[in-house]
Amino acid sequence: MTTAAAAAVAVAAENLSGKKTEIKWVNDVLINGKKICGILTEAALDVESGSLDYAVLGIGINAYTPSGGFPEEIKNIAGAVFEQKAADLRNRLAAEVLKSFYGFYSSLEGRGFLEEYRRRSAVIGKRISVISRDG
C-alpha cells in the first residue's frame, strides 16, 4: 500500500509540475534529489485469518516552498512540488493524488502500480549499504 501511495504521489506531482519525480525506498518521493513527500503506513493483521484488519496511510507533501525558504538544517534535502503558490494548485495536487491512488488501490492485488514505482525508483540498480545492529 505504501508503494502504491508513493507511485500515486509521484505520478500526480509529475503531471502537475512537469518535473521528473523519483521514489527513494518505498516512502519518500523526490524532485531534483530533494524530498517532497514522506509516507507512513500502519496496519494490523487478523492473526487467525491472516487478512488485513485495517491500514492507516499518512501522506505528507510539501506542495510549496515556504516563503522564507526551508530551515537551514533541511534546506539541502527538502524540496517542494511547486515553487510559487497559486490559487488552486494544492487542491489540484490533492485531487490528482487521490485519483491516482484510487486507481492503484483498486488493483492492489494485481500490482498495477509496480511499473510506475519501478520506473521512478531512485535505488533499483544502485549500490546500497545496509547497517545492522551487529555492525
Could you read off the pLDDT of 36-59 as tens digits, one per residue? 999 999 999 999 998 889 999 999
* Buried residues in 29-41 as b, exposed as e (16+ CB within 10 A): bbbeeebbbebee
Residue ranges of the chain with pLDDT lower than 70? 135
Task: Tell me, yes or no, whether 133 lies in a domain.
Answer: no
Q: Report the phi/psi class of residue 108: left, alpha or beta, with left for phi > 0 and alpha for psi in -120 to 50.
A: alpha
DSSP-based three-state secondary structure for 107: coil
CATH number of 64's domain: 3.30.930.10
Domain count, the chain: 1
Q: 101 is in which domain, residue-wise?
A: 2-120
Q: What is the pLDDT at residue 30?
A: 98
Q: Does 28 map to a domain?
A: yes
Q: Quick check: is 97 in a domain?
A: yes
**pLDDT, position 102:** 95
Q: What is the pLDDT at residue 53? A: 92
CB 54 within 8 A of CB 47: no
Question: Given this model, what pLDDT does residue 107 score?
Answer: 81
pLDDT score for 8: 97
| Domain contains 127 | no
